[in-house]
Amino acid sequence: MLTFADRMHKGETIYTLWSQVGSPQLVAQFALSDFDGIVIDMQHGVHSDDTVVTSGEAIIAADKIAIVRLPVDRFDAASRALDLGYEAVIAPMINTKQDAQTFAKFMKYPPIGERSWGPGRAVQQHKVKSADYLQIANQQTLAFAMIETRKAYENFDEIISTDGIDGIFVGPSDLSIDFANGAGVDPNMPETQQPMKDMAIRAKQHGKFAGIFARNPEDAPRYTSWGYQFVNVSYDGALLADGCQSYLERAEISKK
Ligand code: 3PY
Ligand code: MG
């Protein structure tokens, strides 16, 4: 089976669902859908160090791509997620080259970084001998640095060119808050659309990947048309709320 990295290198577009509700049972259910993978959110979601383990198992058992988003500066959880078989890690609020270097240090084995050895579950998942995992890990696991502030956008070239950073992942909501100087949050605010378009182009010029969070499913086609190849389509809480509303409508129950 091709890995996330293989599929991205082939030019495939990967669609994921974001899991904020910290339930491995729900994650198992979502992993059976046609999404290519699930992102387990430890930053704003209620996932814990424990549910990251059980959720990862459920995603891997369904042959889907397991990805984790870290809490801010919890880089120890990056190496652990990779050991558990997660194929990619998204780190929020990477604003400088130094932030990117710290993240990469925990993601990659020497000579690029300083990831510590202990990839028990990842070795089983890749069906390789332990020592052989060392040869493939740096290529087969992906580090995505989140660009979600004006400062990060200004430092874009330095961040994306950092050794060990495989791509960027845009956070349109935080980006809009910063561009609006805190006046509001709107992932579709006009002032951030050009920078978001520009980042997909520049990532490609650097030979790196571009990912983005689509707050609404309707935003996803626009992002793919801009060249984003890893598009997360909204999150489980919104999906469940939509499902509830749709059930009420189908049952012809109107609630004011
Ligand atoms: C943002 O839009 O800021 C995000 O972090 C998406 O989850
Ligand atoms: Mg954010």
Q: Please tell me whether residue 1 adopts helix, strand or coil conformation.
A: coil
Which of 75, 49, 88 is closest to 230 using CA atoms? Answer: 88
Q: How many CB atoms lie within 10 A of CB 92?
A: 20
* Distance (Å) from CA 174 to ligand 1 centroid: 6
Position in ligand 1 atom list of the atom nearest CA 41: 7
Report CA(242)–ligand 1 centroid distance (Å): 20
Q: What is the signed CA dihedral for 230, 169, 113, 75, rounded to 10 degrees?
A: -120
pLDDT in tens, 32-76: 999 999 999 999 999 999 999 999 999 999 999 999 999 999 999
Nearest-10 crossing angle of helices 76-83, 97-107: 30
Q: What does pTM read for this prediction?
A: 0.97
Q: Which residues of the chain have pLDDT under 50?
A: none
* pLDDT at residue 1, rounded to an integer: 87
Work out which ligand 1 atom sits closest to the CA atom of 172: 2
Q: What share of the chain is helix, strand, coil (3-state, %, to 5)?
A: 50, 15, 35
Q: What is the 3-state secondary structure (H, E, C) of 27-41?
A: HHHHHCCCCCEEEEE
